[in-house]
Amino acid sequence: MLLIHCPYCNETLPEVEFAYASEAHIARPTRPSETTDEDWAEFLFMRSNVKGPLYERWRHVHGCGRFFNAVRDTVTDKFLTTYKAGEPRPDLSSLTEGLK
Amino acid sequence: MSQYRVSGRGRVDTARPVTFTFDGKSYRGAQGDTVASALLANGVHLMGRSFKYHRPRGAIAAGSEEPNALIGTRRGSGRFEPNTRATVQEIWDGLETNSQNKFPSLKFDVGAVNDAAYMLFSAGFYYKTFMWPRSFWDKVYEPFIRAAAGLGVSPIEEDPDTYASRNLHCDVLIVGAGPTGLAAARAAAVEGLRVVLVDENPEAGGTLLSEPQARIDGKAAWDWLAAELEALKALGVKIMTRTTAIAYYHQNMIGLVEKLTDHLPKLPADTPRERLWRVRSKQVVLAQGALEKPLVFHGNDRPGVMLAGSAQTFLNRYGVLVGKRPVILTSHDSAWYAAFDLQDAGAKVQAIVDTRADVDALLQSEARARGIAVKLSHTATATSGRLRVSSLRINPVAGGTVGAAQDIRCDAVLMSGGWTPSLHLFSHTKGSLTWDDDRTTFLPEKTPEDCVIAGASRGLWGIGAALADGAEKGRAVAEALGKTGAQVAYAIEADRPGTGVSHKELPTDLSAGKAKAFVDFQNDVTAKDLRLAVREGMRSIEHVKRYTTNGMATDQGKMSNINGLNIASDALGKKQPQVGLTTFRPPYTPTSFGAFAGYHRGEHFEVTRKTNIDSWAEAKGAVFEPVGQWRRARYFPKPGEDMDTAVRRECAATRASVGIFDASTLGKIEVVGPDAVEFMNRMYTNPWTKLAPGRCRYGLLLGDDGYIRDDGVIGRMTEDRFHVTTTTGGAARVLNMMEDYLQTEWSDLNVWLTSTTEHWSTVALNGPNAAKLLAPFVEGVELTEEAFPHMSCVECTVAGMPARLFRVSFTGEIGFEVNVPAHLGQKLWDILWEAGQQYGITAYGTETMHVLRAEKGYIIVGQDTDGTVTPYDAGMGWAVGKKKPDFVGMRGLARPDLQAKNRKQLVGLLTEDGSKLEEGAQIVFDPKQAIPMTMVGHVTSSYDVGTTDQPIALALVEGGHGKMGETVYIPMPDRTIAAKITATVFVDPENTRLKI
């Protein structure tokens, strides 16, 4: 079972308190009716599906209830970092440097 | 004393005899024996039949890696466990055990005919034998495979035992309490760390228990061990025996299974049988040691052929000679010591046969000093004996040529093909492995976890090396935890370090095609099978494994992996690391379902949510059904009524007078704030701006893809406050979705969301007399058509209780939903029930609710929709706000596919012959077309117990809205039913019944 750091509670807690909420940094178009079918399909369906560090969202559903962002390596299942919603994407190279 | 028990040897207590049965016959063992050691003490080697060929088999090992000696154990009625390893199960007075996989008896098993027909059962035999003819599959092949599959028989009674689970947090968890683990424990414990030391055996000590000759710091091994365990306990080390580390999960979470009662003659009260520990440790030391490999040669599975190290364990731990005239067959020094120990205990070792040309001169002179014949550069080519080995056939090998055979008479063959480091838990961590050519084995390399691996499990051999490495690694983890870490050194005498070589199958002068040289004993896989798999095109070890089933039995290839790899890589002409090792998966050893289930069984399997009115329903004899985690009353049968009768009565009473229904489980979300109306406009399809406080509206929630996700009536209590209801099962999902949009897309909106599902008890009254019944209790509003029309809501007082009153209908009748604080639900119910007697008030359940709503064409999300239905498909385009700039799903609805003409649309169906359709049944336009037919939809709801004069159904049909009055067909196994497409409203289409 993973231990996950909630950036709002500033606590590292068991996975059962959290719920996965798919890929992060996919903003809903502010004027959906003005988007093309292609752009809307891109927003709605396309995900990066990376093998390696993935920017993704989690919700501390059985805690503070907040959605936050994380970088998790899909190969090792290791969390590289978590950060508050709205904060910029952390730079991957700075995250992977310290790893064994 | 039993025939093969050696006085003065072993750790069992022969002064405390224990009587148990095996296949109905009574045997005597000693306190501390396992079933295997006690049977061997009685000269019994035959303990089971093999999986595929039903060959006679005995114990080959002395520990949890045992593949052959699997037995059933019984403790009175209800407590039966199949496939228990006889080498692990401790005996107690009255234990009943049985051999498996034999008919009619262990000594004469007719299934052994498979052994003669072995040509049929070669690698991939399932795929080849059961291919043709196709018609044989159902009647012949599948029953045959099902009958033959598996070893033991599953218990049929409910398990009367209890199982516990606990969490444990520590600084250092050490897996394996052999010399490595003990030294690591001391190094960490002296630094004041919280140390947990676990071992699957009944007592700690590991190799030390099998090597009493060693001396540590001037003390005999067993004296040192006893003192060291006391010292570790004094340092606060938690030592857990009979405890298996079954799995290594992320971030140093390790699963332990502790067996508490299987070794006890009497079950203590209030003690679980097993306890699952979820350990989170800052650092982990893996000290699981190494497992001995068999040698692969024809007849290496005959009872009496076993691992040399295990024979040494049976002698030194249990005081049992596995044979009086054993022959040693080895490629590793360790077996020489086994020979010496057995010889010194009174056996007459017939010979030491070593495949190597060069063996340590010291070992050779020790053998000569004991008068043991030594045969170097020899291979073994066969064994003989029916139910027990009686001779070993050996041949000299010179320059790659196998010479003339010689038979050595014996009653046991003790083999050693070297040792395999136990890398299972290390591999669970996704640790990488590196091939070591010298030792012909994989060694641990890197792991992403805070974990070190020490001693024999990283290829170090001998007690001295184990202690030194354990101390070093214990110090390393202490340092990783910020301690200084002291050097500890141990002085060892009479240690037995050694070397050896690893083989593929041994060379032979006999036909290799007829050889039964076993690699995987439990799944009956031979060297020949592996080579055949390669010849037939398997290239990856993962394919070879699945084609031959090598390593796929319950022992997970503990003995067979490296031998199998050696043979497969030889057949492929590649080096072992290029062929690769199969993946180790949890659990390390077979684990009971009970341990995993723990407390989560029976009523505790899942949470059961009950409303405040639940006990009333139970007292009235309601039949319940689970909805989400809720337990809801489905119907209220009167004596002698079945469901149909009860539902018919409930439906009729509600349409005729008044029905009362517990709607408390409806999801409820309070949406509050200055931007609440804007938030509602964006979340739901409907327009909310013009909805006046005190009015409510049916709301539809879509996903951004345009499909219906949820629905419910939403009341605007005040300008800035909405009382949102959701489906019973959808409440949490809807709140999560709302929070998602609010927090991450529209964080500018000032809105608060609160789940209020359990804050309210909701009592629904429906029927022509509903208003008459309720009105006298309501203060603050007149229940008239003018003052409180359909789709109104108000905060008021009902029977003196603060209430939110809704005038809504899910039945087509005059309807009210009275929400009162949850704890007052039963009080309100009782008052209405009492007052309702004059109207013949009838309680109804979810089944009647379903029927009444279907008669009105009201959908149930998740039943009449399936995640691909738009509001237009469902005939609810009226609920979509056309003038709004945006709402969740608005852009999705504009996608071309969702605008397509021939989408499946919700319609009503009336069958021509008046029969009831089956929910889920597929629909076609042309019943005469060829099979497979083109299916154009399916029945979503169907009832024949309501108030209509014929059965009704709702269905999704391609282009259904444009096909009113047309006939569709529902092919069933026995006939085809014709049905006419209708509107979805079957009762009161003008809604006259909603009026007071």
pLDDT for B251-303, tens place per residue? 999 999 999 999 999 999 999 999 999 999 999 999 999 999 999 999 999 99
**B550 phi/psi in degrees, rounded to 5:** -65, 125
A67 is written with which tokens? 């959605």
Alpha helix ranges (H) inside A1-100: 37-45, 92-96
Question: Is the CB of A33 less than 8 angstroms away from the CB of B886?
Answer: yes
Residue B559 has pLDDT above 60, yes or no: yes
Residues 60-89 (A) with a CB less than 8 A from some CB of B: 61, 65-67, 76-78, 85-86
Q: Per mean pLDDT, which range of B314-323, B481-490, B748-757, B914-923 is the poorest?
A: B481-490
Count of beta carbons in the 10 Å neighbourhood of residue B149: 8
**CA B390 to CA B380: how far, in whole Å?**
14
Q: Are B584 and B670 found together in one domain? A: no
The answer to whether B284 touches B248, Cβ cutoff 8 Å, is yes
Residue that finishes a domain, picked among B822, B853, B884:
B853
Strands in B215-216's sheet, in edge-to-edge order, are: B219-220, B215-216, B492-493
CB pair distance less than 8 Å for B251 and A33? no
d(CA B775, CA B816): 11
pLDDT tens-digit readout, B836-852? 999 999 999 999 999 99
What is the pLDDT, as a whole number, of residue B102?
77
Q: Which residue of B has its CA nearest to A38?
A: B895
Contact B539, B532 (CB under 8 A): no
Q: What is the pLDDT of residues B906-950, one digit of tens each?
A: 999 999 999 999 999 999 999 999 999 999 999 999 999 999 999
Answer whether residue B862 is part of any domain: no
List the domain range (segments joined by +) for residue B932. Answer: 871-994
Q: Which helix (H) or strand (E) holds B645?
A: helix B643-656
pLDDT of residue B113 exceeding 80, the answer is: no
- B925 Rama sector, left if φ>0, alpha if ψ -120 to 50, beta otherwise: alpha
User: Contact at 8 Å (CB) between B427 and B444?
Assistant: no
- pLDDT tens-digit map of B684-710: 999 999 999 999 999 999 999 999 999
> What mean pLDDT is reported for chain B?
94
pLDDT of residue B982: 97
Q: B344 in a domain, yes or no?
A: yes
Domain shared by B11 and B78, yes or no: yes
What is the domain count for chain B? 6
| Tokens 């178009």 belong to residue | A29
| Cβ-based burial of B934 (10 A; exposed 0-12, middle 13-18, buried ≥19) | exposed
Quick check: helix, strand or coil at residue B678?
helix
Flag whether residue B744 sits within 8 Å of chain A, measured between CB atoms.
yes
The angle formed by the CA atoms of residues B52, B54 and B56, to the nearest 5 degrees, is 135
* Helix residue spans in B190-321 (DSSP H): 221-234, 308-318
- Tens of pLDDT, residue by residue over A33-60, are 999 999 999 999 999 999 999 999 999 9
Residues 896-955 of B with CB under 8 A from A: 896
Pick from B736, B745, B894: which is nearest to A28 by CB? B745
Same domain flag for B526 and B544: yes
Asked if A28's CB is within 8 angstroms of B704's CB, the reply is yes
Q: pLDDT for B949-958, tens place per residue? A: 999 999 999 9
Is pLDDT above 90 for B155?
Answer: no
Q: What is residue A1's predicted lDDT score, i.e. its pLDDT? A: 84
Contact, B463 vs B492, CB < 8 A?
Answer: yes
Give the model's pLDDT for residue A95. 81
What values do phi and psi take at A96, rounded to 5? -90, -15
Q: Are the beta carbons of B471 and B455 closer than 8 angstroms?
A: no
SS (H, E, C) B538-588: CCCHHHHHHHHCCCCCCCCCCCCHHHHHHHHHHHHCCCHHHHCCCCCCCCC
Residues B876 and B736 in one domain: no
CATH number of the domain encompassing residue B117: 3.10.20.440
Which residues of chain B have a CB within 8 Å of the CB of A35? 891
Q: Phi and psi for B860 in degrees, rounded to 5? A: -115, 120
pLDDT in tens, B660-678: 999 999 999 999 999 999 9
Using CA coordinates, name the residue in chain A closest to B747.
A86
The CATH number covering residue B762 comes to: 3.30.1360.120
- How much is the average pLDDT of B512-531? 92
Mean pLDDT of B306-315: 98
| CATH code where residue B912 lies | 2.40.30.110
Cα angle at B268 between B266 and B274, to 5 degrees? 100
* Amino acid occupying residue A16: V
Question: Which helix or strand (DSSP H or E) is residue B828 part of?
Answer: helix B825-836
Domain final position from B853, B885, B900: B853
Quick check: A76 and B448 CB within 8 A?
yes
Domain-embedded: residue B367 = no
Cβ–Cβ contact A59 with B under 8 A: yes
pLDDT of residue B11 exceeding 60 = yes
pLDDT score for B126? 63
Characterize the bridge pairing of strands B326-330 and B412-416: parallel
Supply the range of the domain harboring residue A85: 3-96
Average pLDDT, stretch B134-142?
A: 67
Which residue from B250, B448, B739 is facing A2, i.e. has the nearest CB? B250
d(CA B199, CA B188): 17
* Residue matched to tokens 């006999």: B510
Q: Is B445 a domain residue?
A: yes
Q: In angstroms, rounded to a whole number, what is the distance separating the alpha carbons of residues B629 and B412?
A: 60
Neighbouring CB atoms inside 10 A of B510's CB total: 15
Give me the pLDDT at residue B133, please: 65
Domain boundary among B157, B187, B221: B157
The residue among B891, B893, B895, B899 with the most chain A CBs within 10 A of its CB, best to mutate, is: B891
The residue that leads in pLDDT, B851 or B151, is B851
Minimal Cβ distance to B253: which of A1, A37, A77: A1
Chain A hits for B891, CB-CB cut-off 8 Å, are 29, 32-33, 35, 40
* Measured distance CA(B700)–CA(B715) in Å, rounded: 13
Average pLDDT (B963-976) is 97
| Cβ <8 Å between A32 and B890 | yes
- On the question of pLDDT at B526 being above 50, the answer is yes
Q: Using CB atoms within 10 A of its CB, is residue B330 exposed (0-12), middle (13-18) or buried (19+)?
A: buried
Backbone angles phi, psi at B441, to 5 degrees: -155, 165
Distance of alpha carbon B427 from alpha carbon B460, whole angstroms: 18
How does pLDDT run along chain A (100 residues), one tens digit per residue? 899 999 999 999 999 999 999 999 999 999 999 999 999 999 999 999 999 999 999 999 999 999 999 999 998 888 999 999 999 999 988 887 544 4
Contact B397, B403 (CB under 8 A): yes
Number of structural domains chain A divides into: 1
- pLDDT reported for residue B130: 61
Q: What is the mean pLDDT of residues B332-348?
A: 98
pLDDT of residue B129: 61
Do B249 and B268 fall within a single domain? Answer: yes
B891 contact A CB<8A: yes
Predicted pLDDT of residue A99: 47
- B473 and B405 in one domain? no
pLDDT of residue B955: 98
Both B282 and B426 in one domain: the answer is yes
pLDDT tens profile B717-734: 999 999 999 999 999 999
ipTM of the complex: 0.96
CATH number at B378 reads 3.50.50.60
B437 within some domain: yes
Q: Which residues of B touch A31 (CB under 8 A)?
A: 885-886
Does residue B791 sit in the same domain as residue B923?
no
Phi, psi of A19 (to 5 degrees): -130, 140
> Are B255 and B133 within one domain?
no
Residue A100: per-residue pLDDT: 40
For B598-643, write each residue's pLDDT tens digit: 999 988 998 999 999 999 999 999 999 999 899 999 999 999 999 9
Is the CB of residue B284 less than 8 Å from the CB of residue B451?
yes
Q: Is residue B576 classed as helix, strand or coil in its secondary structure? A: helix
In this structure, is residue B751 part of a structural domain? yes
Q: B10: how many CB neighbours lie within 10 A of its CB?
A: 25
Q: What are residue B735's DSSP bridge partners?
A: none
- Closest-CA distance, B405 to chain A, in angstroms, reads 54
Give the whole-number percent of chain B exceeding pLDDT 70. 96
Residue A30, domain CATH: 3.30.2270.10
How far is B137 from B767, CA to CA, in rounded Å? Answer: 58
Contact B327, B389 (CB under 8 A): no
Contacts 24+ apart (CB under 8 A), B824-827: B824/B612, B824/B761, B825/B611, B825/B612, B825/B613, B825/B662, B825/B664, B825/B761, B825/B762, B825/B763, B826/B612, B826/B613, B826/B615, B826/B616, B826/B761, B827/B799, B827/B801
Residues in chain A: 100
In the numeric block, the tokens 């939903």 are attached to B817
Chain A residue numbers touching B751 (CB-CB < 8 A) = none
* CB B391, CB B411: distance < 8 Å: no
Domain identity same for B842 and B889: no
- Which of B97-111, B231-245, B490-504 is least confident? B97-111
Contact A61 B446 (CB under 8 A): no
Do B830 and B701 fall into the same domain? Answer: yes
User: Residue B368, Cα to own-chain centre: how many angstroms?
Assistant: 54
If asked whether residues B102 and B25 sit together in one domain, one would say: yes
Please tell me the distance from the alpha carbon of residue B317 to that of residue B9, in angstroms, as a whole number. 7
Q: What gap in Å lies between CA B740 and CA B547, rounded to an integer? A: 48
**Tokens (6 digits) for B154:** 């599953």
Average pLDDT, integer, range B797-818? 97
Q: What is the mean pLDDT of residues B209-218?
A: 97
The two three-digit tokens of residue A65, written as one number: 């209830």
Give backbone dihedrals phi and psi of B237, rounded to 5 degrees, phi first: -70, 130
